[in-house]
Structure 1
Amino acid sequence: MGLIHLGGSSPLGAYGYAECGRELLGQAPDLDTVVVALGSGGTMAGLVDTLGPGKVLGVHCGAVDDPAGTVAELVSSLSGTVHAPEALRLRLDQVGAGYSTLTEESMDALTLAGRTEGIALDPVYTGRALAGLRTAVRDGSVAAGRRTVLLHSGGLPGLFGHSAAVARAQDALTVLSP
């Protein structure tokens, strides 16, 4: 039995997301892009191992100093496949003031997902991933009309455990109350 490190940031943890990539391909063979929050790197590494670096867009959340190097090293240790860090598709523009901070872009994404889809995203990971996806569509790095998946790897505990997000939600409710 192996130990899966926090965030799945080990070859064993990344293997689960390699399996996830195979399942995605089975359900959507025409898949163009999977957008994922890049925290400790394990989720993106597993997906890159299966789908290749061109189909995975990692949105850096600020958890590691060298996101590209971290993911490339995990992919290599997972399967022996070597990808140059610069071959990875990364968005580095969603970190804001740092890992645990709530950015306006993330708050807008949280609000959009909640209001339009009834989906709870967390402010550190999946909120940033959706914010990165929105930006990528606007700048053309993710093509509109192509099959794109936002991988939602969690949300509710992070949402209600983040004091800034809770305060913003309370402010919004106060404005809406008669």
Structure 2
Amino acid sequence: MTLDLGRFPRVDLGGFPTPLQPAPRLGEAIGVPNLLLKRDDVHPLGQGGNKLRKLEFLLGAALADGADTVVTFGALQTNHGRQTAAACAKLGLRCELVLTAKVPRDGDAYERSGNVLLDHIFGANVHFCADGEETGRTYDRLLAEAAAEGRKVATFPVGGSNAVGALGYVAATAELAGQLAERGITRARIVAPHASGGTVAGLALGTGLLDESLALDVACVSHPAEEALESMSQLVAETAKLMDVGVPSLDHVHVDDRTMGEAYGIPREDTWAALRLFGRTEGVVLDPVYSGKAGAALVDWAAHGRFAEDEPVVFLHTGGSPGLYGYAPEFPG
């Protein structure tokens, strides 16, 4: 099946396709000889990351609707917020980031460096909120101010994870399938993290529509497996409806929360171990919130025999390295 998304408004953010690279030293270290890295962390805009794929469609729809202001949400060190700020800067849009203290972290490193510093560099208006109640009040105030000034607002959810945003990873699935085909690979397994869910929903739908030639292993980084599967399935259905296609079986999708840890934004020792392993074998930087926990899952699954011998495995690197600097004081070395 061809994944045709041409009827949806989309802006070109200038960085696709991203590289698909062999990782032989990492593969040898974990016993996965045919390991590839899909480098969605490598992009010329805003230091890269998976949210840029969602933003191509979210911002395309916003511009088509005449919006001149974008409001979105996230934790203090949100990668989505940083990438939204960068994309808005490129397109000349006003960006309002409403950031909530969701993670039990404080200090200058977490509160001022990493993504927070980049948010300001990219010209976003950053609003720090202590809790959900303050977040709601701030959002209402921003809408009222925009209305009074005659501005039109587009509101994006946390992580850009709605049906429009998920189209970005439907498109990414087609891109990846083409890159694998160029290598003579028709069947493979993808490893990716789940948080707000838009990335894996797009991948699950895209792989399902491609007759399941690509399997998907999902590492939970913020929600238990049952919750993650439920939210992902709902978003798959919403995105399929938007595309006017049937909802495929998700039997090819495996969801696992063993490396999630205590909660979102709290890394475990196996998270740090994955960061060290990727860095020391391939010179690739993970982050301790998303890709680090997915990297820990990749190592764990390989150790427990989840991957068949010589099975091509693609690790989707979703980016997030700027957020690493917010965790510098606790890096175990």
Scaled to the shorter chain, the TM-score interval is 0.7 to 0.9
- Report the TM-score when normalising by structure 2: 0.47
Counterpart in 2 of 1:62? 222
- Aligned counterpart in structure 2 of residue 127 of structure 1, from 276, 279, 292: 292
In 2: Cα distance, 1:63 partner to 1:160 partner: 24
Cα 1:4–1:25 change in 2 (3 A) is farther
**How far 1:83 moved relative to its partner?**
5.6
Aligned residues: 168
Counterpart in 2 of 1:24? 176
Letter in 2 for 1:123: P
Task: After the TM superposition, list the runs of 4 or more consecutive aligned residues in structure 1 that deviate by more than 6 angstroms.
Answer: 84-87
- Aligned counterpart in structure 1 of residue 329 of structure 2, from 167, 172, 176: 167
In 2: Cα distance, 1:11 partner to 1:41 partner: 10
Counterpart in 2 of 1:76? 237
Letter in 2 for 1:25: A
In 1: Cα distance, 2:312 partner to 2:249 partner: 26
In 2: Cα distance, 1:143 partner to 1:105 partner: 23
Which has the larger helix fraction? 1
Q: Quick check: which has more Rg, 1 or 2? A: 2
**How far 1:90 moved relative to its partner?**
0.7
Task: Say if 1:8 and 1:43, in contact at 8 Å, map to a contact too.
Answer: no
- Report the TM-score when normalising by structure 1: 0.84
Question: In percent, how many aligned pairs have the same letter?
Answer: 32
* More deviation, 22-31/106-115: 22-31
Structure 2 gap ranges (5+): 1-60, 63-154
In 1: Cα distance, 2:187 partner to 2:250 partner: 22
In 2: Cα distance, 1:149 partner to 1:87 partner: 15
* More deviation, 27-36/43-52: 27-36
**How far 1:142 moved relative to its partner?**
2.3
Query: Cα RMSD (Å) of the superposition?
Result: 2.1
Which has the larger strand fraction? 2
Cα 1:33–1:103 change in 2 (3 A) is same
- Aligned counterpart in structure 2 of residue 41 of structure 1, from 197, 200, 215: 197
In 1: Cα distance, 2:239 partner to 2:256 partner: 23
Question: Over residues 87-141 of structure 1, what are the superposed CA-to-partner deviations in whole Å (9 max), with x where a residue is unaligned?
Answer: 6311110111111211111110001111111111110100011111111111122
Which SS does the other structure have where 1:90 is aligned? Answer: strand
Counterpart in 2 of 1:100? 265
Which SS does the other structure have where 2:284 is aligned? Answer: coil
**How far 1:144 moved relative to its partner?**
3.9
Which SS does the other structure have where 1:98 is aligned? Answer: coil
Structure 1 gap ranges (5+): 173-178
**How far 1:4 moved relative to its partner?**
4.0
**How far 1:25 moved relative to its partner?**
0.4
Letter in 1 for 2:269: E
- Aligned counterpart in structure 2 of residue 110 of structure 1, from 275, 279, 300: 275
- Aligned counterpart in structure 2 of residue 147 of structure 1, from 290, 302, 312: 312
In 2: Cα distance, 1:73 partner to 1:84 partner: 13
In 2: Cα distance, 1:94 partner to 1:84 partner: 26
In 1: Cα distance, 2:308 partner to 2:285 partner: 25
